[in-house]
């Protein structure tokens, strides 16, 4: 079984996906980290890399092919990525939502703690994070519609949607774990 987790920035998707994989004893794949590393290798910020992708499909196609190959060769893993549900259609598709200002605050706090992400250099205030997230959503919608005719933010694409706005990490994890546990039992 494969579990794909997508969602808004700051919704907790990477944190929850990683924790879920650990709890299940499965491998975890994080498409956001891979994208950031690719951008960094080209000496681009993530925002610049996304902008490049609006006219050059290679920035998306490479990662999307990687996801397809994972699903053909492996089973029992958790993957976080905005397009994972589309490229791994047989996965349990989970979407974590969050109000934009709450998500931005969470990202901002994480950036202040780590200060290691490639897109950090232009994010000096929470307002910068909000603006960056708005630009990213526009870029995602443009790229994915152009290349795949999909909208990754459409809730109809997912099996389970959870709004994490007023939930703590434990509550989010418990909701996702309980849902996936039921799916694992049903599929046995």
- CATH code: domain of residue 159: 3.40.50.300
CB 35 within 8 A of CB 46: yes
* Owning domain of residue 73: 2-187
* Strand 2-7 with 77-80, pairing: parallel
pTM of the model: 0.87
Rounded to an integer, what distance in angstroms lies between the CA atom of residue 28 and that of residue 136? 24
Position 126 pLDDT exceeds 70? yes
Position 120 pLDDT exceeds 80? no
CB 176 within 8 A of CB 94: yes
For residue 81, what pLDDT is reported?
A: 93
How many domains does the chain contain in total? 1
């Amino acid at each position: 079984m494969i579990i794909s987790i997508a969602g808004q920035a700051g919704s907790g998707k990477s944190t929850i996906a990683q924790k879920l994989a650990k709890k299940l004893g499965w491998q975890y794949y994080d498409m956001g980290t891979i994208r950031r590393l690719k951008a960094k290798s080209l000496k681009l910020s993530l925002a610049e890399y996304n902008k490049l992708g609006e006219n050059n499909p290679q920035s998306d196609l490479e990662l999307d092919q990687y996801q397809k190959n994972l699903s053909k060769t492996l089973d029992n893993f958790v993957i976080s990525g905005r397009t994972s549900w589309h490229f791994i259609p047989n996965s349990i598709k989970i979407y974590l939502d969050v109000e934009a200002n709450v998500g931005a605050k969470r990202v901002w706090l994480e950036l202040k703690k780590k200060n290691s992400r490639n897109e950090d250099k232009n994010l000096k205030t929470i307002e910068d994070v909000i603006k960056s997230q708005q630009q990213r959503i526009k870029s995602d919608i443009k790229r994915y519609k152009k290349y795949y005719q999909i909208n990754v933010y459409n809730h109809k694409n997912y099996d389970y949607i959870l709004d994490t706005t007023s939930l703590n990490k434990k509550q989010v994890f418990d909701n996702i774990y309980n849902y996936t546990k039921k799916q694992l039992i049903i599929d046995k």
